[in-house]
Amino acid sequence: MSVTESATASATVGENLLEMRGITKSFFGVTVLDDVDIDCRPGEVHALLGENGAGKSTLMKILSGAHQPDGGTILLDGEEVSFGHPRDAQAKGVSIMYQEFNLLPERTVAQNIYLGREPHRGPIVDQGAMERSTAELLATLDAAGSIRPGSVVRNLSVAQQQTVEIAKALSFRSKILVMDEPTAALSPHEVVSLFERVRLLRARGVGILYISHRLGEIFEIAQRVTVLKDGRRVGTLDVAATTPRQLVRMMVGRELDHYFPPHAVPAEIGQTRLVVHGGGVAGKLHDIDLTVRTGEIVGIGGLAGSGRTELAQALFGVRPFDAGTVELDGKPIRIRSPRQAVRRRMGFVTEDRKVEGLVLLLSVRDNSLLALRSLGSWLRRGAGGPVSIRDLLRSLDLRGAGLDQEVRYLSGGNQQKVVLAKWLASQAQVLIFDEPTRGIDVGAKAGIHELMRELARAGGAILMISSELPELVGMSDRILVMREGAIAGELASDASEDAIMLLATGEHDTVSVA
């Protein structure tokens, strides 16, 4: 579908450290990688770019042996390899820093970093050596002060955990290093020291595959960039020979303008719905003040770990506020559990569909009725309800799935639509979206954006957490930016992405585009 620009800078075979050819992969019948090629040379940083759900992480998980490809070949130093287990990949000198945290909360930093390859004398793990080399690693990341090798990961902040992930990836001293969004939760000066490491590794001839949504970073350290879209390779370019605008077009397949539905006009915005004064959650959030009115979408931006999900969880009673007051339609309320929130016609589209949004074993119908049923009496006969689920899902344009299809067989986008159906069926008036389009393909993404806007127009009050700046800017009528558990500031819908990053980091940062 999308034009494949001539892969100008493709290297001649032989000098490549790594070649992945014709990689194909599908999950539950949904193809997420389709005949993808990528290679990497010694001492090169090869960036991998693409929208959420484009397949970047999956491709890298195949390289690291976490997933097995349905088709395609992997060549290391020209010889074909196949990784049945991550250990095989490690043995061949491929190490990866995963996007989602892969640390054991109950274990120490050192134990996590050397998990699976503990230094040992004879049969005995050399704890001392382990902690010493951990300390050295952390020192190279300027983190020796803040993180002890012996401290239990559970007690670390998200940013610190991110740093540990990096230290772990570096500790492999491997030929190929994959970094999947390493800077998502880092503050700029942490990013700087990370890049120093990366340059040192390049000098040592390590090949680095680097995934990031921040174009600025790519232009700073990458030599080549491959763009993925909907699981296909759009093209590979020399960074020197391209521009952010070109990359964005390759990623999105269209110009960014006239992509999001129009913002709310003042007339559409009605009375105040939800108000929080000085809301706080011990150790997580403090001094939260916010207001959401009918008809408007309030965006919440910030770095990962800035407390956005906690805020959503506090509002919805998952981990309730222990300080401050909340008002709904002018009346002070206390929401101590999600159940109470649902009974007040609130809805929460969570960050992680599979874990928090859906019962994968149940059918589309049953998932759509989840919230509605929780409101009904126990003995009422199962199906139905005031709204017809069939019509509802038709209006959501849920393709390729019958009502009795188990949701685990749906694509990410369709799954997200079922989550929406759940809240529409329960006629939720105040809706919180946490990363509503994470891992969802462009088409479905536009559909979901349309729906959110329609909900607002229909008098809904919407709070939208997003890590995607374009989405934030494109969808929000107002933007709140969080930093370290507090609201750092509020911006108008026409705010620039720099302005958001500036508030999010509290200092100047490289410009980032989706």
Partner 1 sequence: MTAPRMALPGGPPGAWARALRTGLGSANAAPVYLVLLVIFVVSWVIVGLAGGSFLTVENVTSVLVRSVALGIVSAGQTLVILAGSLDLSVAYVISVAAVVSSVIMNGDPGRIVIAVVVVLGIGVAVGLTNGLLVTKLRVNPFIATLGVALVLRGLLNAAFDNFAGKVAPQFETLGYGGIGPLPWSVILLVVTVLAVWWLLRSTPFGHHLYAVGGGEETARLSGVRSHRVIIGAHILCSLAAVLTGLFLVSRIRSGAPWIGPDGGYDLESIAAVVVGGTALTGGRGGVWGTLAGVLILAVLDNLFNQLQFNSFLKDVVRGVIIIAAVAIYAQRQRRMSR
Partner 2 sequence: MSVGANGAPGDVTRAAPAAPGDEADPWQRRLVRLMRGAGPIFVVLIVLLVLIALKNPRFIQPAVFLASYLKPAAPLAILAAGQLFVIVSGEYDLSVGSLITVTVTSAALLIHGDPALTYPILALLFGIGIGVGLINGTVTTRLHVPSFIATLGMLLILSGGIFYATGGAPRGSLPENFRAFGRAGIEGVPFLGQLPYAVIVLLVVGTVFWLLLHRTNFGQQVFAVGGNARAADLAGIDVAAIRTACFVLSAVSAMIAGVLLGGFAGVSAQVGETYEFQAISAVVLGGATLGGGRGSVPTAIAGALTLQALFTLLNLFGFPAPLRSVVQGVIIVAAVAYASYRLRRSR
Ligand X SMILES: Nc1ncnc2c1ncn2[C@@H]1O[C@H](COP(=O)(O)OP(=O)(O)OP(=O)(O)O)[C@@H](O)[C@H]1O
Among candidate residues 478, 371, 444, 365, the one with its CA nearest the CA of residue 53: 444
Which of 45, 97 has the CB closer to Mg ion?
97
Beta-carbon neighbour count of residue 13 at 10 Å? 10
Which of 116, 262 has the CB closer to partner 1?
116
124 binds partner 2 (CB under 8 A): no
Among candidate residues 188, 190, 189, the one with its CA nearest the CA of residue 164: 190
Q: How many residues does the chain have?
A: 514
Which string of x and - marks every residue 312-331 that binds partner 1 (by CB under 8 A)? -------x------------
Among candidate residues 294, 288, 327, the one with its CA nearest the CA of residue 311: 288
Which of 60, 222, 398, 401 touches partner 2 by CB under 8 A? 401
54 binds ligand X (CB under 6 A): yes
Which of 99, 272 has the CB closer to ligand X?
99
CB neighbour list of residue 240: distance below 8 Å, 6 or more residues apart: 223
Give CA 417 to chain center in angstroms: 18
Which of 13, 22, 73, 104 touches partner 1 by CB under 8 A? 104
Q: Report in angstroms the alpha-carbon separations of 437 from 52, 259, 448, 462.
A: 8, 14, 8, 15
Which of 361, 450, 458, 492 touches partner 2 by CB under 8 A? 361
Packing angle of the helix pair 158-171, 127-140 (nearest 10 deg): 110
Which of 87, 120, 334, 343 touches partner 2 by CB under 8 A? 343
260 binds partner 2 (CB under 8 A): no
Smallest distance from partner 2 to CB 318, Å: 7
88 binds partner 2 (CB under 8 A): no
Which of 168, 365 has the CB closer to partner 1?
168
**3-state secondary structure at position 491:** strand
Which of 64, 309, 350, 416 touches ligand X by CB under 6 A? 309
304 binds ligand X (CB under 6 A): yes
Beta-carbon neighbour count of residue 503 at 10 Å? 21
277 binds partner 2 (CB under 8 A): no
Smallest distance from Mg ion to CB 12, Å: 30
Is the CB of residue 18 less than 8 Å from the CB of residue 40?
Answer: yes
Question: Using CB distances below 5 to 8 A depending on partner kind, what does residue 378 bind out of partner 2, ligand X, Mg ion, none?
Answer: partner 2
Residue labelled with tokens 């016609």: 345
Q: Report in angstroms the alpha-carbon separations of 125 from 50, 111, 115, 129.
A: 41, 10, 11, 9
* φ and ψ at residue 352, rounded to 5 degrees: -115, 95
DSSP bridge pairs for 363: 406
Q: Give, as ranges, the residues between 408 and 427 that touch partner 2 (CB under 8 A).
A: 409, 422, 426
Name the residues that contact ligand X, by CB under 6 A.
27, 32, 50, 52-58, 99, 158, 302, 304-310, 351, 412, 438-439, 467
Name the residues that contact partner 2, by CB under 8 A.
28-29, 316, 318, 337-339, 341-343, 348, 350, 355-362, 366, 369-371, 373-382, 400-406, 409, 422, 426
